[in-house]
Amino acid sequence: ECLPDVERLKRSSWTLLHTITTAYPTEPMPTQQEEMKTFMRMFSKINPCWCCVEDFRAWMSRPENNVSKYVQRRKTFGKWLCDAHNDVVENIGGGSDACVLRISI
């Protein structure tokens, strides 16, 4: 229960992260934007998925992926995470579970 294999860990992490983006306000207040930026930055440091932590961190550190501008709206934040997912999954040789924007944003 407490020590999942890496596939389960990856699935769990993405499930939680995508749900976080769908629960994010459509037009978040500045405080909520700050909290979400801080959460994502902390997550990029403590992400326990040893197979993707470096790729995710590298992706987030690219200027064009700076989370600050994307947390201004639910729609852009959700897209940002799907882009991260697709990019990180591609880097680790996956592809079949790449995120598809099937949610109503």
Give residues in contact with a second copy (CB under 8 A).
1-4, 8-9, 11-13, 15-16, 18-20, 22-24, 35-36, 38-39, 42-43, 45-46, 48, 50, 97, 99-103
The closest of 14, 17, 104, 32 to 71, measured between CA atoms, is: 32
Task: Select 69 or 98, whichever has its Cβ closest to a second copy.
Answer: 98
* Structure token pair of residue 87: 């990019």
- CB of 62: closest distance to a second copy in angstroms? 21
CB of 103: closest distance to a second copy in angstroms? 5
Q: Which is nearer to a second copy, 37 or 91 (CB)?
A: 37
Smaller CB separation from a second copy, 13 or 91: 13
Given a contact cutoff of 8 angstroms between Cβ atoms, the answer to whether 2 and 59 are in contact is no
Q: Show contacts of 95-103: CB within 8 Å, 24+ apart.
A: 97/11, 97/14, 99/14, 99/18, 103/18, 103/22, 103/78
CB of 38 to a second copy, least distance (A): 5
Tell the smallest beta-carbon distance from residue 3 to a second copy (Å).
6
State both tokens at 26. Answer: 């459509």
